[in-house]
Chain A
Amino acid sequence: MTTSTPVLDARGLTKAFDGTTVLHGVDLQVHDGELVAVMGPSGSGKSTLLHTISGMDTMTGGTVSVAGQDLGSLSQKQLARLRLTTMGFVFQHGHLLTNLCLLDNVVLPAYLACLAPREELNRRALALMERMGVAGLATRDVSEASGGQLQRIGICRALINEPTIVLGDEPTGALDSTAAAEVLDILGEINAEGTTVVLVTHDATVAARADRVLYMVDGRIVADRQQGRCAAVDLERRHGGVAAWLTELQPRSAVLGPV
């Protein structure tokens, strides 16, 4: 059991939309350097949890602190600043800005944070893109890259401000199995270097790479296991049902195609 101060500490977290409660008093502590996967069926509140613990959505009740900062006590401006400098985000569809080239998309969070001169930011962004194998796309438009490449660009954007914690919302959800594996390798490397990573995912193969797996049902964390692959598969079978798990794997099988 880790005893250090958690990077992310949510207690009694509640979120309701128009009177419908989506998160029911969630308690979650994530410690420095952990790779945590949050699983669960559609509508279980995974993405809402991610949006709420990052301050993108306001919580209805409870407390959340990130890197020692209580989100409830921060103004909108302070919250935005905390998100900018402490958290990195990887979304399912990349969500890159189409009016910027790929390099500028990577630079954007650093530019907003005003942490260094533009030339320095460009150098830092290009170094990240080089590492992710997408430096050759720097001046390209968003429409000129594949889904896997865009997700790598999204990871570069998430890392540009050297965040304490990277939050991923279905980061491989829109990728084929090869691209998904590459993206997971990259996220694994980032975690191995000491960055805390929290991934929301439907995919048991993603969760299999995590060293801790949470399972959510109806806005509650119903299981919290410290193992990797076995935990993910076991939790999915136990709480999601074998049929759901097999359904989840079907697209992967389909990649091979009929013989």
Chain B
Amino acid sequence: MEVGGQVRDLTIVGSYQDITNGGKTAKSVLPTQGNDVMWYVVGVALAPGTDAAATAQAYGDQLAPAKVHDIEQWRAQTLRPIARQMTVTAAISAVVAVALVGLMTALFTRMILARDAGPIAVQRALGADDGGLRAQYVTRTVLVLALGVVVGAVAAATLGEAMFNLMFEGLYGGMEALGRGTSRIDFAVDPLLTYVLLPAALLGSVSLVTAASARSLSDARISALTTD
């Protein structure tokens, strides 16, 4: 790095998480010529009870052209677009996940029904009601889903954050960055969304798709198993 016209060797000894700057950032404090400095950032901690807006206004007047912002305003200006994009991305991911689960359920149900065509035909011939047979398949699928939701929720609550951060490190820093601890994003879990609404969406999707797919069991006929 060239500092004040001199080339200097810098060794990076540590980095920290910065989602706005490629995942991780390192900082250094170096003696420089003031004219070359692009900007200064000065943090000011106000005493309890101080009027933040009035103080910011006063600093702005005295230190013009310096920009003085309340930290909340700065945070909103810096992170809100990213937060908004992440929210949209998460919502799209959730919708795609539910749709994929529905698609997989439909394919799996049809495969199971094809496998069970013989026993279904026999049960229908004996007098089993189609609705009752359909209910068997919906019940089985929903039970598997319930088990999956419980295991998934527990795994997400215990391992999810660590796995996400590990993935994030690998994503931005490559294999050598894994486990270094440079990425640390704390999950802000919405319990209603995570443990109620998303499982309910999965339950609704899977139940409807299974019931719809299982309508084809009415096509299973004993005549297909016998010859005249």
Query: Residues of A at under 8 Å CB distance from B?
Result: 42-48, 51, 54, 56-57, 76-77, 80-85, 87, 89, 91-93, 95-99, 108-109, 112-113, 157, 169-170
Q: Which of chain A's residues have a CB closer than 8 A to the CB of B130? A: 76-77, 80
Report, nearest first, the 6 A-B pairs whose CB atoms are least far apart: A84-B127, A83-B127, A47-B228, A95-B122, A80-B129, A80-B127
Q: Which of chain A's residues have a CB closer than 8 A to the CB of B223? A: 47-48, 51, 56-57
Q: Which of chain A's residues have a CB closer than 8 A to the CB of B228? A: 42-48
Q: Which of chain B's residues have a CB closer than 8 A to the CB of A46? A: 228
Complex CA distance for A76 and B126, rounded to whole angstroms: 13
Q: Which of chain A's residues have a CB closer than 8 A to the CB of B222? A: 51, 56, 91, 95
Which chain A residue lies CB-closest to B127?
Answer: A84
Complex CA distance for A45 and B226, rounded to whole angstroms: 12
Q: Which residue, A45, A56, A84, A108, has most C-beta atoms of chain B within 10 A?
A: A56
- Asked if B131 is at the interface of the complex by the 8 Å CB criterion, the answer is yes
Listed by A's residue number, 20 A-B pairs whose Cβ atoms lie within 8 Å are A42-B228, A47-B223, A48-B228, A54-B125, A56-B223, A76-B129, A76-B130, A80-B124, A81-B127, A81-B129, A82-B127, A84-B128, A89-B125, A91-B125, A99-B119, A109-B127, A112-B123, A112-B126, A112-B128, A170-B226
- Asked if B22 is at the interface of the complex by the 8 Å CB criterion, the answer is no
Which chain B residue lies CB-closest to A163?
Answer: B127
Complex CA distance for A98 and B123, rounded to whole angstroms: 12
- Asked if B20 is at the interface of the complex by the 8 Å CB criterion, the answer is no
Which chain B residue lies CB-closest to A157?
Answer: B126
Q: Which of B122, B127, B131, B227 has a CB less than 8 Å from the CB of A113?
A: B127
Asked if B128 contacts A97 (CB within 8 A), the reply is no
Q: Which of chain B's residues have a CB closer than 8 A to the CB of A96? A: 122
Asked if B221 contacts A57 (CB within 8 A), the reply is yes
B113 to chain A, nearest CB (A): 15
Q: Which of chain A's residues have a CB closer than 8 A to the CB of B227? A: 42, 47
Q: Which of B104-129 contact A (CB under 8 A)?
A: 118-119, 122-129
Asked if A77 contacts B129 (CB within 8 A), the reply is yes
B125 to chain A, nearest CB (A): 5
Complex CA distance for A62 and B135, rounded to whole angstroms: 33
- Asked if B14 is at the interface of the complex by the 8 Å CB criterion, the answer is no
Asked if B226 contacts A47 (CB within 8 A), the reply is yes
Asked if A56 contacts B221 (CB within 8 A), the reply is yes
B187 to chain A, nearest CB (A): 43
Asked if A77 contacts B126 (CB within 8 A), the reply is no
B220 to chain A, nearest CB (A): 11
Q: Which of chain B's residues have a CB closer than 8 A to the CB of A83? A: 125-127
